[in-house]
Chain A
């Protein structure tokens, strides 16, 4: 069996559509604050879209709505045309999985990794017995680049980068159609960030799963996503393919965002065979 297929055959992906989503809050003085204002975004089946914007732009709120953990005032989320209700069914929850920014608070410290993954398989009826669960746990560890022994440890035994790998395994175990990742690398060190980005890129190449990546880091989005949506004050001000957004940004806000990013300039590459781990 294909390592990614799990119990039920090949992984499927579907087109995720958020249409006309609006979310508002009550401010301190009772005034209405519109966090997300008639936003529409589409993640093609197996494709990847990056949602960029500053804090307060509404990108995380939109991610929470798409993942079904926050109700919008209005608007719909659908997968291949199937509307996901505000109160999602188990299958609908399974289809859209969220990976959070903080790998320290998003994992239950008291459960071993194996017990977390197993429970998810059982809850979502993806298991055909203990042996099957163990086999899939092992496959997942290989997929996210962790040793098998990691399964019987608790989250506290792991570093930030390793925890983020676990969080990704937890999202993948239920064979989602789309993964929504909210700033998945911004809490990590540079060298660890790079390995997690590499993992996302590998997973995208290997699995047929859509990715909606929320990030304030434009270089991260450019690295991982085919399309980019720029959010500003609750609205999407520019949307298009990566090439176009980075080479010829149309909106003034996108340009100011690109201008503000500090640059390193060219780097002389390490010679062949001289990168650590080359050999």
Chain B
């Protein structure tokens, strides 16, 4: 088997001692082949965003990687220091939910795209500016020569999101990490940005890791899916399979709790209870207090993520009952 382009194995991220030594992502593993797309879904507190930031070596100060490895093309990456940046430069780039705070307010968007091209690819000023205009055009910004001079606040949310994509693409990365890139956008704009992402993937053979709380969005964008709950991965598999035949009660619950225009109201059922806070997880399977399948076994040890079918993994000991009850 060929090495995956990105391999994450046992990644564990924790708050530092002063913040309670709490694990916010626990033993997270997944891998993405070159050109593939993987979605990580979960609700707030699931650890999905911090997992992504750890991969990019962009963790906030109070949080650090305490275990596990991230490998790019089989080579292990550092998580801190200049080395960490250098290893990722030109290989991985990230786009964020909030484009207004991710872009620098005092530079024009063209200058920010050009700056990345200069820094990472060593282009001349002139060449980098021309590249910036090309990239703004590529991400679907009209009149790119003119718009390159615009400041972030002068652009609409959708245009800013495109500009941020252009900045990310300026480094010619192989892997694009996306943290809820369309959550703040209107549905019609979201649809355009998702289409753009799909188009860029095809044209630039990008590999995508896409974090979202929105199952329907992930379904459109990602071939593979990782479902996280309370800092752990609870289920993985091909997106279409996981969403049509979930093998973890949380995944099924999340699907039923999502309103969908293709489904009637009778299919809508909230998950009872609430998401536990990191550091106050119930013993055993963290989902058991909210789960209709829970038995004594679920209250004991934390269930391991186990392979149960070709390319399917679940951390539920009762997965067979779910498989049967389809």
Tell me the A residues contacting B by CB distance below 8 Å.
54-55, 159, 161-162, 189-195, 197-198, 216-220, 222-223, 246, 256-271, 273-279
Distance to closest chain B CB from A252 (angstroms): 12
A189-B275, A257-B187 known; A275 vs B269 contact (CB < 8 Å) = yes
A191-B43, A260-B191 known; A270 vs B252 contact (CB < 8 Å) = yes
Inter-chain CA distance A197–B317, complex, in Å, is: 31
Q: Is the CB of B44 within 8 A of A189?
A: yes
Inter-chain CA distance A246–B258, complex, in Å, is: 18
5 other contacts beyond A216-B186, A266-B262, A270-B325, with CB at 8 A cut-off?
A191-B270, A192-B274, A194-B259, A194-B270, A265-B243
| Size bin of chain B's contact surface | 35 or more
Inter-chain CA distance A261–B261, complex, in Å, is: 8
Q: Tell me which of B245, B272, B290 contacts A268 (CB under 8 A).
A: B245
Distance to closest chain A CB from B191 (angstroms): 4
Set of chain B residues within 8 Å of A267, measured between Cβ atoms:
252, 255-256, 260, 263, 267
Q: Is the CB of B290 within 8 A of A276?
A: yes
Q: Does B190 contact A (CB under 8 A)?
A: yes
Set of chain B residues within 8 Å of A217, measured between Cβ atoms:
259
Q: Is the CB of A189 within 8 A of B267?
A: no
Q: Mark B262-289, 1 if CB is under 8 A from A, else 0.
A: 1101011111111100000000000001
Distance to closest chain A CB from B109 (angstroms): 19
Q: Tell me which of A192, A262, A266, A271 contacts B217 (CB under 8 A).
A: A262
Q: Tell me which of A161, A216, A257, A262 contacts B216 (CB under 8 A).
A: A262
Q: Is the CB of A262 within 8 A of B257?
A: no
Set of chain B residues within 8 Å of A265, measured between Cβ atoms:
219, 243-244, 260, 262-263
Q: Is the CB of B213 within 8 A of A277?
A: no
With CB as the reference atom, state the residue of chain B lying closest to A253: B188
A161-B274, A194-B257, A220-B259 known; A273 vs B292 contact (CB < 8 Å) = yes
Q: Can you list 23 pairs linking A and B with CB atoms under 8 Å apart?
A: A54-B189, A55-B186, A190-B258, A191-B275, A192-B274, A194-B268, A194-B270, A197-B259, A197-B270, A216-B186, A216-B187, A219-B259, A219-B261, A260-B190, A263-B260, A264-B260, A265-B243, A265-B263, A270-B249, A275-B292, A276-B253, A276-B289, A278-B292
Set of chain B residues within 8 Å of A223, measured between Cβ atoms:
259, 265, 268
